[in-house]
Amino acid sequence: MSLVSLESASAASAGISSSLTQLRSLAAWASGAPANIFAPQATPAHTIFGLSLLVIAIVTAIFLAVGGLLLYALIRFRSRPGDDAAEPRQIYGSNQVEVLWTVIPVLILVVLFLATIRVISETERARKPANALDVIVLGHQFWWEYRYPKQGFVTANELHIPVSDPKAPRPTYLTMSSVDVDHSFWVPRLAGKMDLIPNKTNVMWLDPQTSGLYLGQCAQYCGMEHAKMLIRVYVDTPEQFAAWVEAQQQPAVNDPRVAAGKEIFLHTACVNCHTVRGTSAHGVFGPDLTHLASRDTIASGVVKNTPANLRQWIEDPDSLKMGSLMPKMNLSPHDLDQITAYMESLR
Amino acid sequence: MSTQAVALKASTEEWRLPDKGKVGIACLIVAESAIFIIFVLAYVFYMGKSLSGPTPAQVLSVPIVGTICLLSSSLTVHFAVVSLEKNRIALSNAWLALTILLGGIFLGGTAIEWRKLIVDDGLTIRTNLFGTTYYSLVGLHASHVVVGLILLISVLLFGLAGKLDQSHARRLDVLSYYWHFVDAVWVVVFTVVYILGR
Amino acid sequence: MNSTGTAVLASAQPPRKLWLDHVQEWLTTVDHKRIGLMYIGYALIFLVVAGVEALLMRIQLSAPDNHFLSPEVFNCMFTMHGTTMVFFVGMPILFGFGNYLVPLMIGARDMAFPRLNAFSFWISAFGGLLLYFSFLGGSGLYGAGSAPDVGWFAYAPLTAKLFSPGHSTDYWTLSILLSGIGSVGTALNLIVTIFTMRCKGMTMTRLPLLCWLYVVTSWLTFLALGPLTAAQIMLCLDRFAGSHFFDVQAGGSAVLWMHFFWIFGHPEVYILVLPAFAFANEIIPVFSRKPIFGYPAMVAASVLIGFISLGVWAHHMFTVGLGPEGNAFFTLATMIVSVPTGIKIFNWLATIWGGKIRFATPMLFSIGFLFQFLIAGLTGIMLSVAPFDWQLGNSYFVVAHFHYVLVGAILYMIFAAFYYWYPKMFGRMLSEKLGKWHFWLFTFGFHLTFDTMHIPGLLGMPRRVFTYPADRGWAMLNQIETVGGFIQAIALLLFVWNMIQSYRTGKEAGPDPWDAWTLEWATSSPPPHYNFAVDPVVHSRRPLWDRKHPESPDTHYE
Ligand code: HEA
Ligand code: HEA
Ligand code: CUA
Ligand SMILES: [Cu+2]
């Protein structure tokens, strides 16, 4: 019995994967919804998508069957104006039908369950190839820290990973934890979510097959600015990725034109929380700023990284992201301009 | 589910229902057990996970005397109930007093143990995970002993005032179930804290 | 009033009671019917409060990057909304109906422990007031926070002093602790009443199904509220005494709280839904004019649901990293619940089948319940598939799933129960015309809001976000949901109006307006203080059917 349903389950999912391609046209719709779970672009999201179609098909069938019977009964057995006053025939039960509607759901569940454990083990027990890229993801209230241990640098808020060609896969393994409260890493088009929990490490992997930008956000309530803990994953071609790593490995640019700004920065409390590699700023409470200017956005994707936004951020973080853990520093307009210029130079 | 007829005999039958007090105390025991289970789980989960000392092996000694007293008090309270059922008030009072004494010794033992832990070993609820789980689990049990003692003492006072008779045996019985429950919990706590946890 | 008239009447009637006498009477009452009504009234007030909180959230979410509520206020709103709805609407209203109906249905004169009953009510009521007092007192000496803002399951370590200074979280945990004590008290009372106070002839196999379901609910209450109480005590110790249960800095575990909370939290949702099933078990047969189909199977299914639901809690934690074995186990356990639940659905269907259905308002709401619970259960099955949940978890799809159950099933059955038993409680019928308006308007609003709500979840919208960027394609859908929320509010206003208006001008109900079969319809409406002038004796599950149809009494068929 279980063998048969295993086969039929895999047959069903096989059939579904073939029709996946057509359903990919859903992805066209997804351009208006960049975090659509039905427009998968990496294997984990993809397998889930296949399974979800099976599940949806089954529950829809159950709904139509049971709902249809219900509707039929309501119409057929409604009392009509001309009815006599007699009560309908009193029926107290029947063991046969009782058994019937116990057994049928059990059979359906066997199919569902077998299909489920297959996907669970495909995703959670996947063997890690030797060439996999390792990234450590640390959740902070309310931003993301990304460490590339083998490459030897730290960055924040914008994750860069290489595209993984199905013929020569190069997945990225994310090892995740949190420094404060629970968070959850969710980029719907790449994979399901995984929580970041203090005192616990979780692992997930991504193997995006198309380069581009993928959006997501923190999916575990983590405090005031949970809504603005956005995720940006840049899937680069191998060449782009190599170049990016190369650039990130450099210490911070030292541009004499902004020396004044650098001086102010290094003598302000900024250094307690931020690191700029190659300077005396070694704080770890806030994001690493070594290559801040190479990022498209600031404050975990909340605003574009423009000089005006950056200045506003440094002047009063709450005006862009109320409740962020970076304090207002009460800098003079002059100092602000200088620091902003310095930040702008950190390519 | 069938269409077989059943004889219409309910009205002539004698109608007996379970005792309110017993069903009530059984429910209370189920609910309280659920609370204790969670505390025990927390204790077991954090066994050996403290980041700093002192550890149970360093500071805990097995409270033999207290345990013997508490467990035997289950017997004495039972005798108190039996005596009351036979309307032997004075005897029942004596058994009650003995029960209270044994419970008191147990609590005293706990108090001495805690004093030693806090003053000599510097272990408080804030010290580490062991302190946290130890004081909360043992403390939760001790607070139940205190509640039980208060109830038993009030029964004893009624007894000494001559306001107790056979008709109260059912209620004392219900109270004795609570006391047995507190004892049973101690067996679990004792096993987990003083045997497995050391 | 005319003064001579009063003088004449004075001799015939007892002296008119002062307003204060009435208050005193209600405050000190130990009568199960009054306590039941107080529970219900109290829950209705909180329903409006928590509903208004929901509307405020809906306004904020109706447009992207909106500034109607600040993030602080929004976070308080969903915490208060969820906590209030679960602990101070759902629980009290169900215990209220239980209190009112159970003694009547088993032919008893009161609950087993009337004073414990009053105590349970007042301590729960105090819990609710304490929760709302946090709006004033939550800032505490630290000047941080106001109402609790940690979400209704308050994951550690967000609740630690470090991340939640001030007293807002203290109010949350204490109020839940209190309401939990009240719930256990009432549950205990219900079980003891049902086991020990049944009238002559009412064996457990003749017990109305409603009472059976209250037994299971109460049983679950013991086993679920115990862990909750334990966890809240631990949290209190952490916050007040400096212990380290959930303190990750000292090696404590954040996941432990999740387990403890959901060991409570999952059975809790069944505690809430079983009484709704209970109402359906009484109402659907009466309006189909047939006995419930498969009584023993219904009892067995309820007991099974009660047991299985104790072992499925970690389906709320599929994204926590349980490992493949854990995920597979909890997927299976969760799916199995659908078997006994399915039995219930099918038995209701079979009860309707071959009947003569009267579409009175209670039945309309029950039909809404059947369809909506079916859908909600099926979305639950989608969530129980662990990998699918990795995508759906903590998204608006989950929010849609549980509102479909909590509103579409539970609230609908509560409405049905009101239309069905209001005549018993107050002696007057609720207006059928307003009732039908209420039903159709609410149903329209409900589907507008909660059908739509599934989609943003599929498009990646997480829950508990006070706002969202414009470029995600969620704006339009959220706007529709908001409109639906307001339509529900209008329908609810109609309902409130109906209850007030009918209290004064409703049609006289008489003892048995629905031509029903259980014992509560054998006494007058409203029932006298002592419920039954003569202790009833029953010979079957439908004592009034036997009386009305002596030619073929149920006694022959059980
Ligand atoms: C009364 C409330 C209630 C009820 C009855 C249910 C019923 C079910 N729920 Fe739901 N649930 C909630 C309230 C409820 N839930 C709440 C409040 C939350 C969120 C809490 C929070 O995070 O804030 C939640 C969250 C929740 C999750 C976690 C999602 C997440 O956070 O990631 C899951 C996952 O498995 C789940 C599953 C189920 C299942 C399988 C059922 C089943 O019991 C449903 C069974 C019914 C049927 C299946 C339909 C009838 C059956 C048939 C017609 C038979 C044939 C069917 C089959 C063979 C499939 N629920
Ligand atoms: C029984 C439980 C229950 C009920 C009935 C409801 C009912 C509703 N809920 Fe609730 N909800 C929860 C339980 C419930 N909810 C829980 C447990 C959560 C999770 C919380 C958390 O994440 O921590 C939640 C979360 C939740 C969210 C998600 C918040 C977030 O994640 O950010 C939203 C968003 O739309 C929402 C909306 C609604 C709406 C529109 C209704 C409507 O159906 C409400 C209808 C009622 C009314 C509208 C009141 C009627 C008002 C009047 C009669 C007076 C009118 C007066 C004026 C207009 C001044 N709810
Ligand atoms: Cu981080 Cu939500
Ligand atoms: Cu659940």
A-contacting chains (≥3 CB pairs under 8 Å): B, C
Residues of the domain holding B158: 17-196
Amino acid in position C483: V
Nearest CA to ligand 3 atom 1: A183
Nearest C-alpha in B relative to A98:
B1
**3-state SS string over A28-56?**
HHHCCCCCCCCCCCCHHHHHHHHHHHHHH
pLDDT attached to residue A31: 60
pLDDT attached to residue A315: 93
Helix (H) or strand (E) holding A303: strand A303-304
User: A95 and B3 in contact by Cβ < 8 A?
Assistant: no
B9 is a domain residue? no
How far apart CA C174 and CA C233 sit, in angstroms, is 9
Amino acid in position C360: A
Nearest CA to ligand 1 atom 50: C342
Is residue A169 reached through a cis peptide bond, with omega within 30 degrees of 0 on the bond before it? Answer: no
C184 touches chain B (CB under 8 A): yes
B166 is a domain residue? yes
Question: In this structure, which long-range contacts are made by residues A123-131, counting pairs with CB atoms below 8 Å and at least 24 apart in sequence?
Answer: A123/A44, A123/A47, A123/A48, A123/A192, A123/C387, A124/C323, A124/C324, A124/C327, A125/C324, A126/A205, A128/A171, A128/A173, A128/A205, A129/A169, A129/A170, A129/A171, A131/A170
Q: How far is CA A310 from CA A303, A318, A333, in A?
A: 9, 13, 13
Partners of C237 on chain B (C-beta within 8 Å) are 125, 132, 136
pLDDT attached to residue C373: 97
C348 is a domain residue? yes
- Give C539's pLDDT tier (boundaries 50, 70, 90): confident
Partners of A77 on chain C (C-beta within 8 Å) are 288, 352-357
Phi, psi of C97, deg, nearest 5 = -65, -40
B82 is a domain residue? yes
pLDDT attached to residue A25: 45
For residue C185, give the CATH number of its domain: 1.20.210.10
Q: Quickly list H helices, C428-505.
A: 432-458, 475-505
Closest atom of ligand 2 relative to the C89 alpha carbon: 1
Q: What 3-state class would DSSP assign to B62?
A: coil
* Residues near C260 by beta carbon (within 8 Å), at least 6 away in sequence: B38, B42, C227, C228, C230, C231, C234
Nearest CA to ligand 1 atom 9: C380
Residues of the domain holding C176: 26-556
* For chain A, counts of helices (H) and of strands (E): 9, 12
C251-285 residues labelled b (16+ CB within 10 A) or e (exposed): ebbbbbbbbbbbbbbbbbbbbbbbbbbbbbbbbbb
B131, B123 in Cβ contact below 8 A?
yes
Angle at C102 between CA C100 and CA C103, to 5 degrees: 85
B132, C235 in Cβ contact below 8 A?
no
Q: Of C389, C327, C384, C399, nearest to A48 (Cα)?
A: C389
Is residue C157 reached through a cis peptide bond, with omega within 30 degrees of 0 on the bond before it? Answer: yes
Residues with CB under 5 A from ligand 4 (ion): C 266
pLDDT digits (tens, 9 = 90+) for C230-261: 999 999 999 999 999 999 988 899 999 999 99
Total count of domains within chain C: 1
Bridge partners, A134 (sequence order)? A173
Distance of CA B84 to the CA centre of its chain: 21
B10 is a domain residue? no
Q: Of A285, A346, A337, A345, nearest to A312 (Cα)?
A: A337
- The encoded tokens of residue C97 equal 């109906």
Helix (H) or strand (E) holding A340: helix A333-345
B108, B35 in Cβ contact below 8 A?
no
How far apart CA B107 and CA B110 sit, in angstroms, is 5
User: B135 and C243 in contact by Cβ < 8 A?
Assistant: yes
Count the neighbouring beta carbons within 10 Å of the beta carbon of residue A287.
Answer: 25
Q: How close B17 gets to chain A, by Cα (Å)?
A: 27
Q: How close C539 gets to chain B, by Cα (Å)?
A: 6
Q: Of C269, C270, C283, C266, nearest to C414 (Cα)?
A: C283
How far apart CA B36 and CA A191 sit, in angstroms, is 40
B63 is a domain residue? yes
Edge-to-edge strand ranges of the sheet holding A230-236: A158-162, A230-236, A212-217
- Give C390's pLDDT tier (boundaries 50, 70, 90): very high
How far apart CA B179 and CA B172 sit, in angstroms, is 10
Query: Percent of chain B, pLDDT > 70?
Result: 93
pLDDT attached to residue B13: 59
* Residues near A339 by beta carbon (within 8 Å), at least 6 away in sequence: A261, A264, A265, A268, A270, A314, A331
How far apart CA A178 and CA A201 sit, in angstroms, is 8
pLDDT attached to residue A15: 45
B3 touches chain A (CB under 8 A): yes
Residue A269, burial from CB neighbour count under 10 angstroms (0-12, 13-18, 19+): exposed
pLDDT digits (tens, 9 = 90+) for A138-187: 999 999 999 999 999 999 999 999 999 888 899 999 999 999 999 999 99
Q: Is C382 in the pocket of ligand 1 (CB under 6 A)?
A: no
pLDDT attached to residue C366: 97
A98 touches chain B (CB under 8 A): yes
Q: What is the mean pLDDT of residues C196-204?
A: 91
B183 is a domain residue? yes
Q: How far is CA C355 from CA A91, A226, B144, C15, in A?
A: 9, 53, 55, 51
How far apart CA C139 and CA C142 sit, in angstroms, is 6
Whether residue C156 is predicted with pLDDT greater than 70 in this model: the reply is yes
C108 is a domain residue? yes
C363, C419 in Cβ contact below 8 A?
no
User: For the residues of B131-154, what is the DSSP string, one character each?
Assistant: HHHHHHHHHHHHHHHHHHHHHHHH
pLDDT digits (tens, 9 = 90+) for A319-342: 999 889 999 988 999 999 999 999
Q: Is A67 in the pocket of ligand 1 (CB under 6 A)?
A: no
How far apart CA B39 and CA C255 sit, in angstroms, is 15
Count the neighbouring beta carbons within 10 Å of the beta carbon of residue B5.
Answer: 10
pLDDT attached to residue B152: 96
Ligand located closest to A325 CA: 3
The beta-carbon neighbor of A101 closest among C254, C343, C471 is C343
Nearest C-alpha in B relative to A93:
B1
- The encoded tokens of residue C399 equal 């929010």
pLDDT by 10s per residue, chain A, length 347: 343 344 444 444 444 444 444 444 445 445 678 899 999 999 999 999 999 999 999 999 999 999 999 999 999 999 888 777 788 888 888 888 899 999 999 999 999 999 999 999 999 988 899 999 999 999 999 999 999 999 999 999 999 999 998 888 999 999 999 999 999 999 999 999 999 999 999 999 999 999 999 999 999 999 999 999 999 999 999 999 999 999 999 999 888 899 999 999 999 999 999 999 989 999 999 999 999 999 999 999 999 999 999 999 999 999 999 889 999 988 999 999 999 999 999 98
Nearest C-alpha in B relative to C298:
B1
C172, C127 in Cβ contact below 8 A?
no
Q: How close B45 gets to chain A, by Cα (Å)?
A: 14
Task: Pinpoint the residues of chain A covered by CATH 2.60.40.420.
Answer: 133-242, 256-344
Q: What 3-state class would DSSP assign to C342?
A: helix
Residue C478, burial from CB neighbour count under 10 angstroms (0-12, 13-18, 19+): buried
| Assigned CATH for A256-344 | 2.60.40.420
Residues of chain B whose pLDDT is less than 70? 1-13
A319 torsion bin: left (phi>0), alpha (psi -120 to 50), beta (else): alpha
- The encoded tokens of residue B170 equal 């059912």
C218, C190 in Cβ contact below 8 A?
yes
Q: Is A183 in the pocket of ligand 3 (CB under 6 A)?
A: yes
In the numeric block, the tokens 């709450």 are attached to A318
Total count of domains within chain B: 1
| Ligand 2 lining (C-beta closer than 6 Å) | C 48, 51-52, 54-55, 57-58, 78-79, 81-82, 85-86, 89-90, 151-152, 399, 403, 406-407, 411, 449, 463-464, 485, 488-489, 492-493, 496
Closest atom of ligand 3 relative to the A222 alpha carbon: 2
> What is the pTM for the complete model shown?
0.93
For residue B67, give the CATH number of its domain: 1.20.120.80
Partners of B129 on chain A (C-beta within 8 Å) are none
Q: Is A231 in the pocket of ligand 3 (CB under 6 A)?
A: no
Partners of B2 on chain A (C-beta within 8 Å) are 92
- The encoded tokens of residue C462 equal 């997480």
User: C290 and A90 in contact by Cβ < 8 A?
Assistant: yes
Residue C114, burial from CB neighbour count under 10 angstroms (0-12, 13-18, 19+): middle
The greatest distance separating any two alpha carbons of chain B, rounded to the nearest whole angstrom, comes to 76
Partners of A79 on chain C (C-beta within 8 Å) are 289, 356-358
Nearest CA to ligand 1 atom 13: C402
How far apart CA B144 and CA B184 sit, in angstroms, is 12
Whether residue C26 is predicted with pLDDT greater than 90 in this model: the reply is no
Amino acid in position B84: L
Q: Of A88, A91, A79, A17, nearest to A48 (Cα)?
A: A17
Closest atom of ligand 2 relative to the A221 alpha carbon: 22
Q: How far is CA C186 from CA A146, B28, C31, in A?
A: 52, 11, 13
User: For the residues of A176-191, what is the DSSP string, one character each?
Assistant: EEESSS-EEE--TTT-
Of 1.10.645.10, 3.40.47.10, 3.20.20.140, 2.60.40.420, the CATH number of A133-242 is 2.60.40.420
The beta-carbon neighbor of A198 closest among C248, C327, C471 is C248
pLDDT attached to residue C525: 87
How far apart CA A151 and CA A171 sit, in angstroms, is 16
Q: What is the mean pLDDT of residues C190-218?
A: 94
Query: Percent of chain C, pLDDT > 90?
Result: 79
Is residue C536 reached through a cis peptide bond, with omega within 30 degrees of 0 on the bond before it? Answer: no
* Residues near C307 by beta carbon (within 8 Å), at least 6 away in sequence: none
Amino acid in position B185: V
